[in-house]
Structure 1
Amino acid sequence: MKKFISFLLLSFVVYALQAQIKDPVKFKTELNTLSDTEAEIVFTATIDNGWHVYSTELGDGGPISATFNVDKKSGLELAGKLKPVGKEVATFDKLFEMKVRYFENTAKFIQKVKLTGGAYEIEGYLEYGACDDESCLPPTEVPFKFSGVTKAGNAAAVKTEQPEKKEPEKKEEPAPAPAEVKDSAAMMELVPATPADAATDIQPAVASSELWKPVISDLQALGEEHGQEDMSWIYIFITGFLGGLIALFTPCVWPIIPMTVSFFLKRSKDKKKGIRDAWTYGASIVVIYVVLGLAITLIFGASALNALSTNAIFNILFFLMLVIFAASFFGAFEIRLPSKWGNAVDSKAESTTGLLSIFLMAFTLSLVSFSCTGPIIGFLLVQVSTTGSVVAPAIGMLGFAIALALPFTLFALFPSWLKSMPKSGGWMNVIKVTLGFLELAFALKFLSVADLAYGWRLLDRETFLALWIVIFALLGFYLLGKIKFPHDDDDNKVGVSRFFMALISLAFAVYMVPGLWGAPLKAVSAFAPPMQTQDFNLYKNDVHAKFDDYDLGMEYARLNGKPVMLDFTGYGCVNCRKMEAAVWTDPKVSDLINNDYVLITLYVDNKTPLTETVKIVENGTERTLRTVGDKWSYLQRVKFGANAQPFYVLLDNQGKPLNKSYAYNEDIPKYIEFLQTGLENYKKGK
């Protein structure tokens, strides 16, 4: 009994310190009687913003599907399968190469049962998977227990009995494994799961194990990782700003700058008023594009934009749009909005005065520059839509608009700069054709998503890379003057800047050549199809775990005098695969992991059953352990106070942390520093 009380106190302390535990889904369970012979068990979830819960029957090789599981039942039979109810989001997942379905904000699952008469009882659990854009929770269980009495043809006397009101399954934690594992298949010494045990002093099987003791406070003292949301917003802004700078140098925008600034300066005898008008013009450009970004989000919704960005049909249409714009930039034809639109707005600007006329002039610029800015804005919005943020498109458009408006205000402040401004000419057509090549390259990225969705296998990784190699090689030859398009002049001279641009393009084409044989090519990993589509791969710089069992791996590390790297992962963890492909393939990272650490990879969604189910008490609540994955999930929660993957932690061979934990972040130097710091701390402590 003393051990039981000690464990409850320890559990309370752990619960208080679990700052990293994520609890984004809360389920309510109820049994509704539909008639004397029929009832339904309803699971209703409230889902935090940014998270989603996967639907039923997604198939093998994908994320965790919602499933209905029965431990025992009597007096009733299941009627049909678990049914998802509500608005599902269906999209193609590029990592799993399959279509998935999930719920956002709310979810409901219904299992119908047939009452056979008399007393009935059913006990079991709903299992589900939940993810956000950065991490996934381990398979989580929602327990239920209902009983009552019914008579066919008479009114039902029903008693519904639920396990104590608990927070979502995330807290449903399996029991840990013992320090000494007699059978690695069983993974732990089992405690019988009997009702008597549940009512008395159930203890975790590894209560005495030093290796399983919580180290949450130690990790907090070392400093934990935080989200990268602020950095991602800065990245979105910078991306938009760079897009605006590119748009500046197109034939649709650059020639308008001196004419517009001169107009404002000559429009008024008061120079200060002319400068103020130019500032107003620039601010109007910013307002127009930011409003456009917000309008797109409000019309479609952040989650719809995210789903749209991975939709196969949308990607085919965007691919065709970019190819058409590229052909236009090459000189095949010219794309313009109807001239009457621009003329109507322009004439309205001339007939009005004050701020409204300036705003209408800015709107005219937006219309007449569409053929050059449209592809850039479209590509920007597609990229930022994957963040699922309501404000991300507006932030991207803010950066784009500031870059576009900047020269109008600067030249208004310093009119003498207008004289040194490069005149429009052949160099602008070079920029336009260069954009055409880039649009053609990016178009293949969108076609690749559709290709994966329909299983055409037209754009396997080596085919995609071969096309990119040809495109960037042709761009290099064009910049050197070896290829001519209809609007190019006959000047055969190649300027210094143009020469260096050609050098960069040709070097990039050569850089991609080893990718045809399996080299990772981190610079293009975000665009190229996944490595598993590569038919011919000679690259073998992979990282493989030495153990998938915590206790056995720790014993090996102790006997060999090495520190340990724990990798909490999942078969359905998207960002885990990203880290393995983008970070672990780095030679320095793979060398450190393979040679200096004992890597133990623990899959929290491992469905290998234990020889017996185990009921344990965690945070004062009874939980049930059923699978090996449950065990590793419990280890992550009780020892490290976290429940999301990927999650990396460095330990000495006594189970003490050597550095702060590391979550999803593809910064390779930072990951190397994380590993090296742990190694240095291990050597100091020996």
Structure 2
Amino acid sequence: MDRLKAILLLIFLYFLSPGQTLQAQASVDPVQWSQELVRESDSVYVLVFEARIDPEWHLYSQHTPPGGALPTEFTFKNEGAGYRTLGPVQESETHTAFSTIFEVEETFFKGTARFTQKIQLTDLKIKGIQVEMFYQVCAEVCIGADKTFLFSFSDQPYVPEAAALDAASLAKGDALLLDLKNKELLGQDTGSGSVRRQGIWVIFGLGFIGGLLALLTPCVFPMIPLTVSFFTKQTSSRSKGVARAGFYGFCIVLIYFLLSLPFHFFDSVDSQILNTIATNIWLNLFFFGVFVAFAFSFFGYYELTLPSSWASKADQASDRIGGAIGIFFMALTLAIVSFSCTGPILGGLLGSTALSEGDVATNLTAGMLGFGVALALPFTLFALFPSLLQRLPSSGGWMETVKVVLGFLELGLALKFLSNADLIGNWGILKREVFLGLWILLALLVAAYLLGVFRFKKTGADVRRSPWSIGGAFVFLSFAAYLTYGLFTGAPLKMLSGFPPPDFYTLRAQNSDCPLGLECYKDFDKGLQESRASGKPILLDFTGWACVNCRKMEEQVWSDPEVFQILRDDYVLISLYVDERRLLPADRQFVYAYENGTRKEIESVGDYWSTFQNLNFGAVSQPYYVLLSPSLEILGPAIQNTDIDTYRTWLDNGLKLYIKDPFTGSEAIEFP
């Protein structure tokens, strides 16, 4: 049951971070496993599982008490069908210590661990045994993992019958691997790291803006003067009141920071699995529904609130405890009672984080910190300068106006997730023109609302025309005009790169279904054959239909005249979509067996290319660009998100390293 809760928690928290192709790096397991089969007699064997654990990490015993880290579990597949276990799994020496986090005594291994299980064969013809293990290791964070062990009773590796790989499957699996040369060049620095680091500050800024918007909502704004007055008037000195208000603001920041920490644990999960979830059609439709629900809550049709008992308990704790801990619970009470206004804004922030470049968990922490800082700022600022409280505008209908505008923004974000599902499923519902048309309609509706043309009955009084509302209407009318220009001229909308569908996903007839009308190959084998026939090197582009950063690179970097000319004239472009859900023909589907015994079912084109990328280049993020010669020589380091100058220099350097000598090797293996 504890394991089920952990898995459900993973799924729930991931749902808060909607999808696109996640840009993450495969993590390294802090436990390295080995196995051994010891024969005691013709029918009795001992299965040995040994672990080498990295310093500072703990692997947990099967018998660690409940309530703390999860215990190690063994599952002996098909027990009773040819063999039986003799007694429980035995363990090597363990350590015991009190966990201040879980407040229980935990039993764990440090450095090394050894498990043994004695078995007896009841059928001497049995070929082997499959053992599944679940374990958790903890240091500053905890990581849960599954491991498969295969024990063979012959000289041949054991393959379970349920996932047996025939000779054809093995050949298909071998076709995934390329005979790459100069592979060490992949990891060299390209000088583009500074560009990626700037993304954290962009996310922090988005979070800060979201926090400022939350301040203007009726759930938060009235709390500012009440809370500041409480701290400044209920203390013996002004300096003490200022200090308490400052600590209150710090606690607000801390709470939103703590909300982001679990995502650092999930970032250590196999990123191919997360990528598969993020590009799932039905999950994107789910997020579409969630953001539509957020929008109508802002329109006043209902409120999304956390259970009132949470706020009551937090408030009671703040009154009962007092001091610094009491102030923390006051901040927690604010976070809970304001959820109906801050929740949809945080949802939008989480969506923007998932659609941004860089490490998802780090970006989320930056965004949450920005949100918390903006939310906490007025409580500290007005405590330092109480006279400013008199200049605050009074609460009123203007706050409802802010909520309605935010509701329209939520609808715009919801369309992005519907577009993701449409692109991945290739339904053709939200072509670029339809998507832009809907955004234009939303922008015009916001402008009309701000000008008082209509109102939502649920939100109260009509919008009063003011310089602020007229200015806001002008902004949205300008945005609608910008979208209209792009819609009718086909001009790239660089300010929005990555959000509308790509320019080749259009209602108009196109000569190419590749970015910017370039000639590209969506099959590695065909592109490789063209490279060998033309003598041009390859630009291998790992991309995705739902990859926002891929669209940004295509529309902002590839569209540069010099870069475009190089791509068109000097390279063979191979674009492999790792989230392509089109199924392979039944006779082309297979199960790939990794060296560690784990398996992956290759059923769709996206499954094939994502595994192809991971096996050959050790990466699972997109966009991911590699330069290859026709004879599969690496022509430089791999590159991801970067600027025009860096990308152009990278392409030029690849051409300089490439020496045109005809390829005379064997015929290429056919790819899907």
Q: TM-score range by the shorter chain?
A: 0.5 to 0.7
1:664 aligns with 2:640: yes
User: Which consecutive unaligned segments of at least 5 residues does structure 2 have?
Assistant: 1-25, 43-51, 55-125, 135-143, 151-157, 579-583, 585-612, 659-672
1:264 aligns with 2:234: no
Match of 2:370 in 1: 399
Cα distance between partner residues in 2 of 1:369 and 1:355: 21
Q: Is the 8 A contact 2:263 2:361 kept in 1?
A: no
Where do 1:511-550 residues align within 5 Å?
A: 511-513=482-484, 514-515=486-487, 521-529=493-501, 534-537=506-509, 541-544=516-519
Structure 1 pair 384–108 and aligned structure 2 pair: CA distance change class (3 A):
farther
Match of 1:483 in 2: 454
1:466 aligns with 2:451: no
Structure 1 pair 108–526 and aligned structure 2 pair: CA distance change class (3 A):
farther
Superposed CA offset, 1:49-68 (max 9, x none): xxxxxxxxxxxxxxxxxxxx
1:328 aligns with 2:304: no
Structure 1 pair 582–515 and aligned structure 2 pair: CA distance change class (3 A):
farther
Q: 1:254 Cα shift?
A: 1.6
Cα distance between partner residues in 2 of 1:300 and 1:676: 35
Cα distance between partner residues in 2 of 1:598 and 1:553: 8
Match of 2:539 in 1: 567
1:587 aligns with 2:559: yes
Where do 1:161-172 residues align within 5 Å?
A: none
Match of 1:372 in 2: 341
Cα distance between partner residues in 2 of 1:297 and 1:392: 10
Q: 1:124 Cα shift?
A: 7.2
1:283 aligns with 2:250: yes
Structure 1 pair 302–400 and aligned structure 2 pair: CA distance change class (3 A):
farther
TM-score computed with the length of structure 1 as normaliser: 0.55
Q: Is the 8 A contact 2:541 2:574 kept in 1?
A: yes
Structure 1 pair 403–673 and aligned structure 2 pair: CA distance change class (3 A):
farther
User: What is the DSSP-based 3-state SS (H/G/I as helix, E as strand, rest coil) of the residue aligned with 2:540?
Assistant: strand
Alignment partner for residue 429 of structure 1, among 400, 410, 413? 400
Aligned length: 492
Match of 1:65 in 2: none
Q: Is the 8 A contact 1:448 1:459 kept in 2?
A: yes
Superposed CA offset, 1:253-287 (max 9, x none): 12211221121111113111001100111121122
Amino acid at match of 1:356: I
Where do 1:142-153 residues align within 5 Å?
A: none
Cα distance between partner residues in 1 of 2:304 and 2:529: 66
Cα distance between partner residues in 2 of 1:577 and 1:481: 38
Q: 1:438 Cα shift?
A: 0.5
Structure 1 pair 309–123 and aligned structure 2 pair: CA distance change class (3 A):
closer
Q: 1:445 Cα shift?
A: 2.5
Q: Is the 8 A contact 2:401 2:463 kept in 1?
A: no
Cα distance between partner residues in 2 of 1:297 and 1:215: 30
Cα distance between partner residues in 2 of 1:603 and 1:431: 43
Amino acid at match of 2:508: F
1:346 aligns with 2:319: no
Cα distance between partner residues in 1 of 2:334 and 2:643: 40
Structure 1 pair 475–668 and aligned structure 2 pair: CA distance change class (3 A):
farther
Q: 1:446 Cα shift?
A: 2.9
Superposed CA offset, 1:572-592 (max 9, x none): x54998777443455324543
Q: Is the 8 A contact 1:462 1:534 kept in 2?
A: yes
Structure 1 pair 565–285 and aligned structure 2 pair: CA distance change class (3 A):
same
Amino acid at match of 1:360: F
Percent of aligned positions that are identical: 35
Name whichever of 397-406 and 446-455 sits farther off: 446-455
Amino acid at match of 1:463: V
Amino acid at match of 2:224: I
Q: Is the 8 A contact 1:286 1:405 kept in 2?
A: yes
Superposed CA offset, 1:95-119 (max 9, x none): xxxxxxxx987567964589xxxxx
Structure 1 pair 516–272 and aligned structure 2 pair: CA distance change class (3 A):
same
Match of 1:418 in 2: 389
Match of 1:51 in 2: none
Q: 1:347 Cα shift?
A: 4.8
Match of 1:273 in 2: 240
Alignment partner for residue 293 of structure 1, among 248, 260, 265? 260
Q: Is the 8 A contact 1:515 1:521 kept in 2?
A: no
Q: 1:247 Cα shift?
A: 1.2
Cα RMSD over matched residues? 6.0
Cα distance between partner residues in 1 of 2:131 and 2:216: 52
Cα distance between partner residues in 1 of 2:432 and 2:487: 8
1:494 aligns with 2:456: no
Q: Is the 8 A contact 2:423 2:546 kept in 1?
A: no
User: What is the DSSP-based 3-state SS (H/G/I as helix, E as strand, rest coil) of the residue aligned with 2:640?
Assistant: coil
Q: Is the 8 A contact 2:195 2:642 kept in 1?
A: no
Structure 1 pair 409–556 and aligned structure 2 pair: CA distance change class (3 A):
same
Match of 1:197 in 2: none
Q: 1:416 Cα shift?
A: 2.8
Structure 1 pair 549–331 and aligned structure 2 pair: CA distance change class (3 A):
closer
TM-score computed with the length of structure 2 as normaliser: 0.56
Q: Is the 8 A contact 2:450 2:469 kept in 1?
A: yes
Structure 1 pair 85–465 and aligned structure 2 pair: CA distance change class (3 A):
farther
Cα distance between partner residues in 2 of 1:227 and 1:575: 26
Amino acid at match of 1:481: G
Structure 1 pair 127–29 and aligned structure 2 pair: CA distance change class (3 A):
farther
